[in-house]
Structures are given as structure tokens and as C-alpha cells.
Structure 1
Amino acid sequence: MIDFLREEQVKPEIIEGILKFREEHSVTDEMCARIPKPKYLYYGKEIWEEAAVALLCGKNLLLTGPKATGKNVLAENLAAVFARPLFDISFHINTDAASLIGTDTFQNGEVAFREGPVYRCAAEGGFGVLDEINMAKNEALAVLHGILDFRHVIDVPGYDRIALSGATRFIATMNYGYAGTRELNEALASRFVVIAMPQISDAYLNRLLSSQFPKLKEKYAGQFTELFFDIQKKCESGEISTKALDLRGLLDAVTLMEHGLEANCALAMGIVNKSFDPVEQELIRDVIRERIPKKLEREKMFSN
């Protein structure tokens, strides 16, 4: 990952800061298994520099933006670059304080405290990804205030008050406008520095496809890139919903193609069928027909 940052031409002083951080904060053998090995890399020098500097300064990050901007990919990449154990903490309407911090449990004939993911992340010096943080109720998120501000402590009623490890960071992600989301309250938002994630560019998407599928011919990497942006334009104009604008779905479809599935069939599974409206499905198929031949087999797309 450090070599990747050098390839992205991230400033040398930032890379040096990351290496120094890794030297100063070791990881136990038990936690080494939690250091991620990313399947996908995030491309974007400016965002890398903003995120890395914020974490080196001890700040917590809030990544905002629409789908397909790579929020979770960047969060995982950051944990890998900083060599920190990763804790994924998903939020939903029923998330409460006990599910974040921990709760009482009955163990060996007596009451004991079962640590929650936020507690473990704080104690182990991990990077905690607070996924879709604006899905949870504000009352539940209030328990994070002492963790995210200058106090850096977790106060567990009836148990110990623990201080966060100096390596602990929290990276929250959020989308606006999805069902079940709510406004993030000002007290919580003020505890993060915020990065507005940009849409992936055509150059970066082409690089992503080429790096993930080395045998994919350049011609078709370009075609799938253009297809993604054709769908994006349809979404922006309001002709179709954003359900089909699915970067993971596109990558999944190309994976299916690489393993022998015909291109249009794979794209139907990865993109078209993400919409359940027959009229919208037909509109998406029209976009695909403009870029992809009716029968496109693996042998034409991938080199041996």
C-alpha cells in the first residue's frame, strides 16, 4: 500500500508521517488478522492526502457523498495503509448504546461485561468504520461524544472508564436522502472533519478496471467505463433511478464475464436487475445496447 501511495504521487512528507505512525503504534498478534488486505484500491491523490493528514493529526473523518464514490473502499484502504485493525460498525434504526459500547452477559455463572465493537476498537487502537452513521437515532449516537472529542474516553456505567489508545481513529460514512436516514446532529458532526467524496473520474475508473482485471482488453475496459458514465448521465437527468448506478455491480459483472458468462447476461445480473421496475430495466438495457454488442463472449474481451 505504501508503494501504491508513491505511485499516486502522494506527498513524501505524508508518506513519511504514515511510516512513523506505524512504527510508533504496534499491533498485537491477535489484532494482526484484522488489518485489511483491500481487494479494491481507491484512486485519487487529493482525497488520499486530505484523509491521511487528518488521521495523522488525530482527527476523525466523516466521508459524505452519493453511492459509487468509494467511501468504504477509502476507509478500508486507510486502515491498510496505517496498518491498523479494522472494526466495521454498521448503523441502523435499532442501533443503541449497548450494541456500540457493550452490555452485560451471563458467563461462567456470573454477570460479566461483553465488549461492543466501539469499546474494542478504542482499546485496541483500531480504525472504526461507522458505516451509514446517519441511520441511527441521535440518542444512540450520543454515547460517541466522549470518544470523538478531546476527552477520548469511554465511560461504561458500572464498569471501568477507559482511555482510548493513541492510535484509535473513527471514520464515519453517510449518504443523504436514503430511506431511514436522518440529519446528523450538530454536536456529533462537529467532532469530525468532513471530506465530500467526489464521483470517480473516467480515468480512475479505467485504471480500476485495468488493475482488477489485468487480462481485460483496453478496448473493453474503455467501453465499460463509458457505460458506467452513460448510466450516471441518465440518473442525473432523472430518466432512471440511481439503483443501476452501482460500481460494485459493474465490477461484479466483469468478474462474471471473466469466468465465462456472456456480457449482457452478466450486466443484467450486476446492473439491470438492481432495478425492479420493468420500464426502467428496459431503459437501462437500451443504454447497454449502445455500448455492448448483443453477444459478447469472454474470448473477445480477455486476452489469454
Structure 2
Amino acid sequence: MIKYQNNDKSVLNDALGMLNLKKNVLLKGPTGSGKTKLAETLSHELNLKMNSINCSVDLDAESLLGYKTIENINGESQIIFVDGPVIEAMRKGNILYIDEINMAKPETLPILNGVLDYRRTVTNPFTGEVIKAHDNFKVIAAINVGYVGTLPMNEALKNRFVVIDMEYISGEILKTVIKEQTLISDDQLINQIIKFNRDLITMASQGQISEEASSIRALLDFCDLTTIMPVERAAKRAIIDKLDDEREQNAIINAMELNF
């Protein structure tokens, strides 16, 4: 388990303090900056289960709150309501993690306004029940700024959060992540990979390659693949072949040749 994120332990400590004050925490940063990893670490540190929502343009009230279904109970068909991630987290006092919150349609999210403010309640439109959140209930959301398909966050929604602006994982923390979460053990190769990743981040920040190519997920896949195939082919399978733009592919190939 990662004990802290980025290059500053205060990020984890601040996030824990905010959540304990019952503040909703918005993690803001590029793809690959470790937002989901930080949310998982907070869940571990607080010993709370995490209910996740992956936002998209198809997100609707049922995806958030739950749905009605027919179930056979004691030989009789009965209509029951199955709690969705929001209501389950509220009832059980879990962490609600809303990933890529700015991918959702603006008209979908106002249903959460009461959940995210001092009321900590929601009226289930499918049953009429008013759900009051458990005292342990906490909310974390993540946002990718400027990513394709995202929309500006509604100001009323944004004002319900405190914000942690995250950078890419790098240096010794990235080294720890690689050692803990991949099969690679060669320190020299790990150091080369970290330098290669730094070049990818620079290119992504300059707009030469997409942020997806510099994501932590792709990098960890790359690390695992280096244990079963040559580095060049591992980079091709984990990073390069995911890209459609030939210029981006060539930029990564050049960076790979400089580092390995």
C-alpha cells in the first residue's frame, strides 16, 4: 500500500484531515498522477470500504442511486430496490469515490447536491425514501482537467469540495510504487524506467504526446512486461501501440532509444 503520494507526505495528511472534518475532497490532476491510488490509500488508512462511480455521459440516476427489480421471495414475486453506490455508501458509512466527475452530464449530478452539503441526505426518486448518511460517510471525487470529453464543473457542485491539486508520481515514490506493485526487481532497470517516464511526462506537458501515454497504469504494465520480453517490445505492447498518432508513437520510440 502506498503510504503517500507525489513528493509531499502532507498530501495524504491533508486529505485525511479534510475527510475527518467531513469535507468532500476533489483530487485534481492529469491522468497518471495517482488520484485513484490516493483514494485507495485513504480507504485503507481510514479502514473504510470504498464504493466507486465511474462517470460518463451515460451516467444516470439509476447508476448513482440504484434500481427496482423483481425478486422471488418465499415463492412470491416482489418488487425490491437494489441500492446503488451512493445509497450503499451513505447507509454503511463507506467512502463514495466519484471518478472523472467532469465526464458526467451536468444535468445528472444535481441529484447529489444534498448528499454533498451539510444535509448529507438524498431523497430516492424511485421509492420516496429519504436516506440520511451514516456518520462515517465520506466523499472523494477525481477530475482530469482538459481531458477529451470532459466538461467544466458546475460552480455549485465545485463549491461543495475542497481541492487537492496533484502532480505526477515521480522519483523515489514512483520507485516504491514500481517495487511494490510490479514484478520487476532490477534496480538499474527501474532507474532507467523512471528516467524514461520523466521524459514521457515532459512530452505530455508540452503536448507532444497524450496524457494516456504517460499514465501510471501504462507504466506499471510496461514494468511487468519487461520481465517476460525485451524492453523495446514491452514498451510497444504497453504504451506505443495504444496510440493512433504516428508522431506520438515516434516520439516515444525516440525517448525509449535514449533511455535504454
The question of a shared fold, defined as TM-score above 0.5 by the shorter chain, is answered with: yes
- State how far apart, in whole Å, the 1-side matches of 2:181 and 2:123 are: 44
AA in 1 matched with 2:51: F
Contact 1:44–1:204 at 8 Å: present in 2 too?
no
1:178 equivalent among 139, 147, 166: 147
Q: CA RMSD in A?
A: 2.0
Cross-structure match for 1:221: 190
Please state if 1:133 is matched with 2:97. no
Q: Which has the higher strand share?
A: 2
- State how far apart, in whole Å, the 2-side matches of 1:44 and 1:209 are: 18
Equivalent positions of 1:89-238 (< 5 A) are 89-108=53-72, 109-157=77-125, 158-213=127-182, 216-238=185-207
Say how many residue pairs are matched.
255
- State how far apart, in whole Å, the 2-side matches of 1:138 and 1:213 are: 38
Contact 1:64–1:197 at 8 Å: present in 2 too?
yes
Please state if 1:77 is matched with 2:41. yes
The two structures have a TM-score, normalised by structure 2, of 0.91
> Higher relative CO (CA 8 A, sep ≥ 6), structure 1 or 2?
2
Contact 1:42–1:73 at 8 Å: present in 2 too?
no
Equivalent positions of 1:250-261 (< 5 A) are 250-258=219-227, 260-261=228-229
Structure 1 residue 111: deviation in Å? 2.5
Corresponding residue SS for 2:108: helix
User: Over residues 238-277 of structure 1, what are the superposed CA-to-partner deviations in whole Å (9 max), with x where a residue is unaligned?
Assistant: 333333212211111111222x211111111111112112
User: Structure 2: 5+ residue runs without aligned partners?
Assistant: none
Equivalent positions of 1:38-77 (< 5 A) are 44-77=8-41
Contact 1:244–1:272 at 8 Å: present in 2 too?
yes
Corresponding residue SS for 1:139: coil
Structure 1 residue 207: deviation in Å? 2.8
User: Structure 1: 5+ residue runs without aligned partners?
Assistant: 9-40, 293-304
Contact 1:42–1:77 at 8 Å: present in 2 too?
no
Structure 1 residue 215: deviation in Å? 5.8
User: Over residues 159-193 of structure 1, what are the superposed CA-to-partner deviations in whole Å (9 max), with x where a residue is unaligned?
Assistant: 32121001111110011222221111111111111
1:270 equivalent among 232, 238, 243: 238
Structure 1 residue 152: deviation in Å? 0.9
AA in 2 matched with 1:232: I
- State how far apart, in whole Å, the 1-side matches of 2:85 and 2:197 are: 36
- State how far apart, in whole Å, the 1-side matches of 2:206 and 2:85 are: 41
Cross-structure match for 1:26: none
